[in-house]
């Protein structure tokens, strides 16, 4: 009966779920659109509310709207069905690991997104490691003050940004350590920064050139524009990475800053 009318399947499934204890969704022919079935079973309002809550959290972690559209609604609906409860607070690491292990790489990546959002919400301790992500790329800390490098690593190992964004930001804040060693040797930790150091950094960034703040682990190639002023977008990325770094340290209670990174 569940296979006869595709348009009414979600509602027939909801009746079977609540009145007949039906749970084996594999019995439904060509079972897809998990979010539609989850909405029929648990109610559209709560499913959409939980999805919006998770999407908003992930957007705050750096995921783009286009990235969030890929598999997220379907995977979240699938997890809700497997969990038997649509509320994010009831999701567990075991549930996510089962969901990640039983799916292809693309969909497993979406489970990873869900885990990143849940970790940011404090529902699970830490996000799952993406199956296709083998680990941090080695980056040289030669020339970077050791204490600054330690702060950078600690931030990288704790941040709930998606792995690629986290590693990109890590590289930028490490490179700023090269500037500190050269121009601000008295600055060793985030708590040493004040408005005058911030002003000096912004001025130095504005005057910086391509290849100037380069880690030893960076590819050894001479760019066509080597020595020329860095692009405005590069300056924006540096500032965004630093702002996120300082805001996180303050939010986590790791450092008492002497300036506001939000301005």
Per-residue model confidence as pLDDT tens digits over 90-142: 999 999 988 887 666 667 778 888 988 898 888 998 777 654 444 456 788 88
Bigger pLDDT: 80 vs 163: 80
Instruction: List alpha helices for the chain, DSSP H.
Output: 9-20, 34-42, 44-60, 65-69, 72-83, 93-101, 105-120, 146-158, 163-183, 195-207, 232-251
pLDDT of residue 32: 60
C-alpha 55/C-alpha 124 separation (Å) is: 17
Bigger pLDDT: 48 vs 219: 48
Mean pLDDT of 147-166: 86
Q: Classify residue 192 by its DSSP letter.
A: G
pLDDT above 80 (res 45): yes
162 and 84 share one domain: no
Enclosing domain of residue 20: 7-121
Any domain includes 127: no
156 and 87 share one domain: no
C-alpha 76/C-alpha 54 separation (Å) is: 9
pLDDT of residue 224: 67
In the chain, how many domains are there? 2
Minimal CA–CA distance to 174: which of 229, 245, 111?
Answer: 245
76 and 17 share one domain: yes
Per-residue model confidence as pLDDT tens digits over 219-233: 555 556 677 888 898
Average pLDDT, the chain: 82
Phi-psi category of residue 21: left, alpha or beta, with phi > 0 → left and psi -120 to 50 → alpha: left
111 and 166 share one domain: no
pLDDT of residue 4: 47
Any domain includes 235: yes
Any domain includes 138: no
User: Is residue 173 very low, low, confident or very high in pLDDT (cuts 50, 70, 90)?
Assistant: very high
Any domain includes 258: no
Per-residue model confidence as pLDDT tens digits over 2-43: 444 456 777 767 777 777 777 666 656 555 678 888 888 899
Mean pLDDT of 157-164: 80
Q: Report percent pLDDT > 70 for the chain.
A: 82
215 and 164 share one domain: yes
User: Is residue 246 very low, low, confident or very high in pLDDT (cuts 50, 70, 90)?
Assistant: very high
Report the predicted TM-score, pTM, of the whole model to 2 decimal places: 0.53
User: Is residue 201 very low, low, confident or very high in pLDDT (cuts 50, 70, 90)?
Assistant: very high
User: Is residue 179 very low, low, confident or very high in pLDDT (cuts 50, 70, 90)?
Assistant: very high
161 and 116 share one domain: no
In contact, 72 and 114? CB cutoff 8 Å: yes
Any domain includes 37: yes
Any domain includes 132: no
Mean pLDDT of 51-69: 82
pLDDT above 70 (res 181): yes
C-alpha 211/C-alpha 227 separation (Å) is: 7
């Amino acid at each position: 009966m569940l296979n006869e009318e595709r348009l009414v399947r979600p509602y027939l499934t909801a009746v079977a779920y609540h009145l007949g204890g039906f749970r084996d969704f594999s019995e439904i022919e060509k079972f897809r659109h998990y979010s539609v079935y989850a909405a029929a079973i648990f109610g559209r309002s709560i499913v959409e509310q939980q999805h919006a809550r998770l999407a908003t959290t992930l957007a705050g972690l750096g995921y783009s709207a286009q990235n969030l559209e890929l598999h997220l609604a379907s995977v979240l609906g699938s997890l809700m069905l497997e969990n038997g409860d649509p509320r994010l607070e009831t999701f567990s690491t075991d549930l996510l690991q089962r969901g990640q292990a039983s799916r292809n790489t693309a969909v497993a990546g979406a489970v990873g997104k869900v885990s990143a959002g849940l970790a940011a919400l404090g529902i699970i301790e830490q996000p799952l490691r993406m199956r296709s992500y083998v680990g941090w790329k080695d980056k040289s800390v030669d020339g970077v003050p050791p204490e600054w490098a330690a702060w950078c690593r600690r931030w990288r190992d704790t941040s709930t940004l998606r792995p690629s964004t986290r590693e990109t930001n890590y590289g930028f804040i490490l490179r700023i350590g090269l500037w500190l060693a050269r121009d601000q040797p008295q600055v060793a930790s985030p708590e040493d920064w004040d408005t005058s150091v911030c002003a000096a950094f912004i001025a130095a960034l504005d005057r910086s050139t391509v290849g100037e703040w380069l880690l030893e682990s960076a590819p050894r190639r001479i760019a066509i524009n080597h020595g020329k002023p860095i692009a405005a977008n590069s300056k924006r990325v540096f500032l965004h990475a630093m702002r996120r770094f300082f805001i996180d340290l303050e939010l986590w209670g790791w450092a008492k800053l002497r300036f506001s990174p939000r301005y």
